Amino acid sequence: MKEISAGGVVYRKAGDDLQVQMIQDRYGKITLPKGKMEPGETVEQTALREILEETGIVGRIVKPLETITYQFNLSGVGVVDKEVHYYLVEATGGTLQAQVEEIRGVEWLHPLEAWHQQTHSGYGNNDSVLKKALDALGYEVE
């Protein structure tokens, strides 16, 4: 079985500061907003819908970042091939609010703090996604 999801690294300018959005998932891990594609949607529409649903933020896609793939076992189904399309997304509106049915929390962070949280409490396969986003935003991380 194949499952396609999409999401993004969301950023905003707050005065002279740039902030990046990170979420804490239901397992307590730091991650990026993403979700499953619905019938009739493009991956770009999926990314923007999932960001809005999970975080309350309306955004616009700036550019694609990366597509990651992995497998997991789903009870009663077996092995699922997962494909996740990530985009760099600029926040254009909305009010930050976590979708409590799906995630534990969401916050705006300084880009280097977002990187620190990702590398210490996030999923390893998101490191390259966030690094590409931060590079595009002018922040160099290792």
Let me know if residue 141 belongs to a domain. no
pLDDT digits (tens, 9 = 90+) for 65-108: 999 999 999 999 999 999 999 999 999 999 999 998 889 999 99
Residue 142 belongs to some domain of the structure: no
Query: How many beta carbons lie within 10 A of that of residue 45, not counting itself?
Result: 14
Residue 21: which domain range?
2-136
In a domain, 15, yes or no: yes
CATH code at position 96: 3.90.79.10
The DSSP string of 43-112 is HHHHHHHHHHHHH-EEEEEEEEEEEEEEEEEETTTEEEEEEEEEEEEEEEEE-----TTTEEEEEEE-HH
15 conformational bin, left if phi > 0, alpha if psi -120 to 50, beta if neither: left
Per-residue pLDDT, 114: 98
pLDDT of residue 2: 94
Q: pLDDT tens-digit profile of 3-16? A: 999 999 999 998 88
Q: Is the per-residue pLDDT at 142 higher than 90? A: no
Q: Is position 70 within any domain?
A: yes
Number of domains in the chain: 1
